[in-house]
């Protein structure tokens, strides 16, 4: 799945190129884009295509309109932001298929950009409808997938279109395949993975796959409570997946069998309520008050986790160490962020919360690769085949 052609492996000069991007960006109630990383991440691909005199047709979804036209999910604000970033006029089509769109695509000249209206205004997009795929394909000569974030979905613009057009990776997709795919498939040891977030259930597949590959596995966040319960500790009122305690025991055993250094918290920051102004204190994991809840890894654990990264050659991080949005419970995540950024290892970070923590600390530029896909990154880390990547032409 990793040896795929990119736009640099084919002739795009003077061609009409349909490019699937993931411009599902956050907006405020007034429709202003609050964060545009996903748009900026595609600029190298668009600029390369423009340098080769291609005509570009952009397709994206925005929000969850569920197959109907919802005006607040129009891509117009996205097109305006992209136009400002790339310094070119962008025409927004009234729809993504149909006679009007076909006429606009037909008249598109080299160097021009047309953005289709929200693909998910049509339920056929998510159903991977062959007729809808064919209509999208009829607009262009070549399909390019630069939307890693949706490549775990077999949708019409992602997978279906490749049955009717030659399809290759964009430069952003190529980076994701190289870093997330190849680095995890063939990591340079010592390989350390840091997995956080609220629930073990969201990341079982990732943990099980990584136990076959890593030298050290670090667990933090709410999911660490389930591992603490598996070790017999009282976790008080902490978030706990009681039905996953046996699974956590099994994962602890698997780590032992495989000689993986599994690092779990030895101390935690507990609070008397889930609030920014809660009373809080750091305690050893065997001293969690039954009326309190753990909301971050403790200072000793944070130091241990940071130290374990010192000799690493490959680091993967997905998920925060605590409720980092509240300053009182941000130390664990911040300590890990500083350690990952300061490491000389190849570092790959995925998951919105981990990325937000890095950006908040001003450390994002020190990471080798920040993955643009949430669910897609996790499935890639699990070793799953992603339909949007599998469908691209092989080298």
Write out the catalytic residue numbers: 38, 199, 352, 375
Buried b (16+ CB within 10 A) or exposed e, 1-20: eeebbbbeeeebeebbbbbb
Q: Alpha carbon of 132 to those of 56, 120, 166, 384, 395: distances in Å?
A: 19, 11, 17, 26, 28
CA-CA distance, 296 to 285, in Å (whole number)?
12
- CA-nearest of 225, 222, 241 to 233 is 225
DSSP 265-283: -SEEEEESSSSTT--EEEE
CA-CA distance, 388 to 153, in Å (whole number)?
7
Compute the C-alpha angle 374/147/8, nearest 5°: 130
Q: How many CB atoms lie within 10 A of CB 65?
A: 20
CA-CA distance, 108 to 17, in Å (whole number)?
11
Note the Cα 266 to chain centre separation in Å.
29
Q: Alpha carbon of 345 to those of 178, 242, 251, 311, 315: distances in Å?
A: 16, 36, 26, 8, 6
User: Is residue 248 left, alpha or beta, with left meaning phi > 0 and alpha meaning psi from -120 to 50?
Assistant: alpha
């Amino acid at each position: 799945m990793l040896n795929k052609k990119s736009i640099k492996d084919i002739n795009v000069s003077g061609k009409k190129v349909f490019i699937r991007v993931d411009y599902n960006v956050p907006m405020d109630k007034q429709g202003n884009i609050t964060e545009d990383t996903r748009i900026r991440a595609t600029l190298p691909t668009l600029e390369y295509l423009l340098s080769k005199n291609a005509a570009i047709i952009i397709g994206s979804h925005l929000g969850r309109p569920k197959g109907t036209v919802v005006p607040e999910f129009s891509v117009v604000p996205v097109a305006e932001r992209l136009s400002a970033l790339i310094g070119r006029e962008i025409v927004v089509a009234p729809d993504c298929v149909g006679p009007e769109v076909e006429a606009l695509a037909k008249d598109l000249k080299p160097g021009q950009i047309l953005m289709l209206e929200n693909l998910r205004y049509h339920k056929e997009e998510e159903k991977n409808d062959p007729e809808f795929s064919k209509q999208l394909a009829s607009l262009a000569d070549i399909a390019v997938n630069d939307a890693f974030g949706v490549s775990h979905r077999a949708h019409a613009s992602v997978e279906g279109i490749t049955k009717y057009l030659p399809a290759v990776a964009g430069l952003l997709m190529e980076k994701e395949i190289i870093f997330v795919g190849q680095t995890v498939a063939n990591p340079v040891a010592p390989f350390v993975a840091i997995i956080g977030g609220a629930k073990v259930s969201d990341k079982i597949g990732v943990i099980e796959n990584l136990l076959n590959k890593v030298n050290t596995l670090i667990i933090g966040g709410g999911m660490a409570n389930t591992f603490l319960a598996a070790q017999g500790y009282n976790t008080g009122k902490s978030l706990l997946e009681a039905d996953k305690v046996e699974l956590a025991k099994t994962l602890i055993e698997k780590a032992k069998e495989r000689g993986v250094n599994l690092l779990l918290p030895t101390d935690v920051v507990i609070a008397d309520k889930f609030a920014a102004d809660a009373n809080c204190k750091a305690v050893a994991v065997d001293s969690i008050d039954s009326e309190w809840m753990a909301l971050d890894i403790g200072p000793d654990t944070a130091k241990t986790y940071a130290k374990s990264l010192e000799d690493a050659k490959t680091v993967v991080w997905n998920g925060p160490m605590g409720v980092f949005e509240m300053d009182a419970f941000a130390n664990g995540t911040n300590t890990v962020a500083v350690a990952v950024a300061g490491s000389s290892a190849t570092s790959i970070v995925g998951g919105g919360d981990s990325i937000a923590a890095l950006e908040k600390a001003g450390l994002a530029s020190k990471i080798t690769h920040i993955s643009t896909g949430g669910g897609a990154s996790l499935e890639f880390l699990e070793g799953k085949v992603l339909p949007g990547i599998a469908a691209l032409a092989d080298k």
